[in-house]
């Protein structure tokens, strides 16, 4: 395969997976947006976590909520559980890496919050453990997953699953979904600000 064909194939695959995802999971994204908006409106917060690229997505989305996405509006309560190296390494060293997010959920989570776990495989052990802890504490649970969803999706009140086995394609959809969720939450909470947006 020539390099330009490889380039074109990558974009074609990404577009195809996004189209398949929208057809299969568009309604789940709307449900997720409504849950996040209601949680924030009621004074709750969003706890986000994942590994590797999913950790980066958790941090990225927390920043969009706390700072802003596209419109000027008040900061929204979101915390990425992937950023404090002292907490992460002490838990992994003293206990087990499977506990690095769960212990933070137990420390920071309250009933009425949302725990949002991100896992391309749907089987990340520390994401599973954190979602289990969240359910025990009465948090609402949400998952961004891939493939058949795996145990991560099974533990979620709202599961958004990318129907693909390709990690890069799943990650591309996850960050698109993240941006769409930010936009829809702003639309639900601050409709007058979104209506006045210059470049929708």
pLDDT at 200 over 70: no
pLDDT at 143 (0 to 100): 98
Is a pLDDT exceeding 80 seen at residue 96? yes
Q: 43 vs 40, 111, 113, 127, CA distance in Å?
A: 5, 11, 8, 24
* Cα dihedral 119, 123, 126, 128 sign: positive
pLDDT on residue 102: 98
Q: Tell me the sheet residues that pair with 25.
A: none
The reported pTM is 0.95
**pLDDT, tens only, 28-44:** 999 999 999 999 999 99
Which residue from 137, 102, 107, 138 is spatially nearest to 117, judged by alpha carbons? 102
Give kind and range of the element (H or E) at residue 151: helix 150-154
For 49-76, b/e burial (b = at least 16 CB within 10 A) is bbbebbbbbbbebbebbeeebbbeeeeb
pLDDT category of residue 52 using cuts at 50, 70 and 90: very high
Which among 41, 194, 25, 24 is positioned nearest to 114, based on CA atoms? 41
At residue 198 the predicted structure's pLDDT band, cuts being 50, 70 and 90, is low
Query: What is the percent of the chain where pLDDT is above 70?
Result: 98
Confidence band for 195, pLDDT divided at 50, 70 and 90: confident
Q: What is the pLDDT of residue 113?
A: 98
Q: Where are the domains of the chain?
A: 8-189
pLDDT confidence tier of residue 91, bands split at 50, 70 and 90: very high
Query: The domain 8-189: what is its CATH number?
Result: 3.40.50.10490
> Of 84, 85, 51, 44, nearest to 65 (Cα)?
44
- In the predicted structure, residue 1 carries a pLDDT above the cut 80: no
Q: What is the pLDDT of residue 66?
A: 98
Report d(CA 78, CA 134) in Å as an integer.
15
Q: What is the mean pLDDT of the chain?
A: 96
Q: Identify the CA nearest to 49 among candidates 136, 152, 191.
A: 152
**pLDDT tens-digit series, residues 167-189:** 999 999 999 999 999 999 999 99
Backbone angles phi, psi at 49, to 5 degrees: -160, 155
pLDDT bucket at 196, cuts 50 / 70 / 90: confident
Give me the pLDDT at residue 199, please.
59
Res 121: pLDDT: 96
């Amino acid at each position: 395969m020539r390099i330009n064909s490889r380039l074109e194939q990558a974009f074609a695959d990404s577009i195809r997976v996004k189209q398949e995802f929208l057809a299969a999971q568009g309604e789940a994204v709307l449900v997720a947006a409504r849950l996040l908006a209601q949680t924030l409106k009621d004074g709750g917060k969003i706890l986000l976590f994942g590994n590797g690229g999913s950790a980066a997505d958790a941090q990225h989305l927390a920043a969009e909520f706390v700072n802003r996405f596209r419109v000027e509006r008040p900061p929204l309560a979101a915390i990425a559980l992937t950023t404090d190296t002292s907490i992460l390494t002490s838990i992994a060293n003293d206990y087990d890496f499977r506990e690095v997010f769960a212990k933070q959920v137990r420390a920071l989570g309250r009933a009425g919050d949302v725990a949002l776990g991100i896992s391309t495989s749907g089987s990340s052990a520390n994401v599973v453990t954190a979602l289990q802890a969240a359910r025990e504490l009465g948090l609402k649970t949400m998952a961004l997953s891939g493939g058949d969803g795996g145990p991560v999706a099974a533990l979620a009140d709202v599961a958004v699953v990318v129907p693909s086995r390709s990690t890069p394609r799943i990650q591309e959809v996850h960050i698109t979904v993240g941006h769409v969720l930010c936009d829809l939450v702003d639309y639900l909470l601050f409709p007058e600000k979104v209506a006045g947006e210059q470049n929708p």
